[in-house]
């Protein structure tokens, strides 16, 4: 994506870009809707990336163009919040300016090229904000440590765009490593790289969600309401994910529906993700896969963030003998992950495809998942 981004910059602004950077999309192997509840997540960076190249512009101006539509958008970013995907870039520019990473009145032209599909559950927005943070910091001659890059990208999305996301996507986009999953404890911010040698298929249902407009923010509010009620008996509780898995009967008594179901998911998924990390460390992929199925079931029944298309893929995968399968990312559409026995990969993919076409008519997109490295500077 480096060459298309450079070519786009040239053809749009008729000068060469000065700096470049890129960041990957991700799949989340397990630990869904736990990040903003202070639980663990286990994502892996994929080979699909977003590349941003940049050069200077007039003071206070952000001029952006994407290979998707080639339209140039221009924002006076201090006052103008931007529109569409431009809001993410305005968010990054404002964060960098308010932290003094770039000088006051900083202006930039940015061209973006990406092969991370939007709305497929691969965290395309974090790939965009992390690539933008790296490239704009580079344009301002600033060196940022990885945690700061993730933090700036997170605040761009959370504060400026208004998506109440957690920190998983930005963190994996920065710290991702080829053939490794990242165990990230969202309460302590501790991380550990765990080798991942499984074969995974990505099944894109092609059902698209608009994250900000979806039930995501509602779910987050429900989790906050559940935490507040649980604090009446345990005032020291900092996060919902801290509730002990051994005290589920008590949690059930304390919470009304739907808060009860949401909290049961978060506490169960937290325990499952810790166990899954242990199975992965021990290279027990079949046991890991069983936890993926359980996670999907919990997302479907308790968190109610699945979709009929995702449920069908998971059922078909199980029937075809896959070791595990689950939705990945926020849900309500997007893609499912299928952990397969390498010897049965083609047969499993075909069985899922046929079941999907029979049920919904359209073809799903089925591709093997290739892992990739985290964010990096790109040569210009």
Contact status: 32 vs ligand GLA (CB under 6 A): yes
Interacting residue with ligand GLA among 35, 63, 204, 309 (CB under 6 A): 35
Contact status: 48 vs ligand GLA (CB under 6 A): no
Contact status: 33 vs ligand GLA (CB under 6 A): yes
Nearer to ligand GLA, 184 or 196 (CB): 184
Query: Which range, of 33-41, 69-77, 88-96, 233-241, touches ligand GLA by CB under 6 A?
Result: 33-41
- Cβ 79 to ligand GLA shortest distance, Å: 27
Interacting residue with ligand GLA among 107, 166, 364, 372 (CB under 6 A): 166
- Cβ 110 to ligand GLA shortest distance, Å: 22
Interacting residue with ligand GLA among 168, 182, 203, 227 (CB under 6 A): 168
151, 169, 185, 204: which one is catalytic? 169
Nearer to ligand GLA, 138 or 172 (CB): 172
Query: Which range, of 30-38, 82-90, 98-106, 262-270, touches ligand GLA by CB under 6 A?
Result: 30-38
Q: Give a three-class secondary structure readout of the chain.
A: CHHHHHHHHHHHHCCCCCEEEEEEEEEECCCCCCHHHCCEECEEEEEEEEEEEEEECCCCEEEEEECCCCCEEEEECCCCCCCCCHHHHHHHHHHHHHCCCCCCCCCEEEEEEECCCCCCCCCHHHHHHHHHHHHHHHHCCCCCCHHHHHHHHHHHHHHHHCCCCCCHHHHHHHHCCCCEEEEEECCCCCEEEEECCCEEEEEECCCCCCHHHCCHHHHHHHHHHHHHHHCCCCCCCCCHHHCCHHHHHHHHHHCCCCHHHHHHHHHHHHHHHHHHHHHHHCCCHHHHHHHHHHHHHHHHHHHCCCCHHHHHHHHHHHHCCCCEEEEECCCCCCEEEEEECHHHHHHHHHHHHHHHHHHHCCCCEEEECCECCCCEEECC
Contact status: 154 vs ligand GLA (CB under 6 A): no
> Which residues have a catalytic role annotated?
169
- Residues interacting with ligand GLA, by CB under 6 A? 28, 32-33, 35-36, 123, 165-166, 168-169, 329-330
């Amino acid at each position: 994506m480096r060459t298309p981004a450079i070519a786009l910059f040239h053809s749009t602004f008729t000068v060469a870009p000065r700096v470049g950077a890129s960041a990957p999309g991700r799949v989340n192997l397990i630990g869904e809707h736990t990040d903003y509840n202070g639980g663990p997540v286990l994502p892996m960076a994929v080979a699909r990336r977003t590349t941003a190249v940049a050069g200077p512009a007039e003071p206070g101006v952000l001029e952006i163009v994407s290979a998707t539509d080639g339209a140039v958008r221009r924002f006076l970013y201090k006052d103008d919040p931007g529109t569409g995907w431009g809001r993410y870039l305005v968010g990054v520019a404002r964060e960098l300016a308010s932290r003094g990473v770039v000088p006051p009145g900083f202006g930039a032209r940015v061209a973006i090229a990406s092969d991370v599909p939007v709305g497929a559950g691969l965290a395309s927005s974090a790939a965009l904000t992390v690539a933008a943070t790296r490239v704009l910091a580079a344009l301002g001659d600033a060196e940022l440590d990885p945690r700061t890059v993730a933090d700036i990208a997170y605040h761009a999305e959370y504060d400026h765009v208004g998506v109440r996301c957690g920190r998983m996507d930005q963190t994996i986009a920065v710290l991702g490593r080829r053939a490794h999953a990242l165990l990230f404890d969202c309460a302590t911010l501790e991380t550990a790289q765990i080798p991942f040698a499984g074969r995974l298929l990505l099944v894109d249902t092609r059902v698209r969600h608009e994250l900000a407009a979806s039930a995501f923010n509602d779910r987050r509010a429900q989790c906050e309401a559940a935490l507040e009620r649980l604090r009446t008996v345990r005032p020291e509780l900092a996060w919902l994910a801290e509730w002990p898995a051994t005290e589920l009967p008590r949690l059930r008594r304390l919470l009304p529906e739907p808060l009860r179901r949401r909290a049961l998911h978060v506490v169960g998924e937290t325990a499952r993700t810790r166990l899954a990390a242990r199975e992965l460390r021990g290279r027990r992929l079949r046991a890991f896969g069983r936890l993926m199925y359980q996670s999907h079931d919990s997302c479907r029944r308790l968190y109610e963030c699945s979709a009929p298309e995702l449920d069908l893929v998971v059922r078909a995968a199980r029937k075809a003998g896959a070791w595990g399968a689950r939705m990945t990312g926020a849900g309500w559409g997007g893609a499912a992950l299928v952990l397969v026995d390498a010897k049965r990969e083609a047969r499993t993919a075909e069985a899922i495809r046929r079941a999907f076409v029979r049920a919904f008519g359209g073809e799903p997109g089925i591709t093997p998942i290739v892992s990739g490295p985290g964010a990096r500077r790109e040569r210009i």
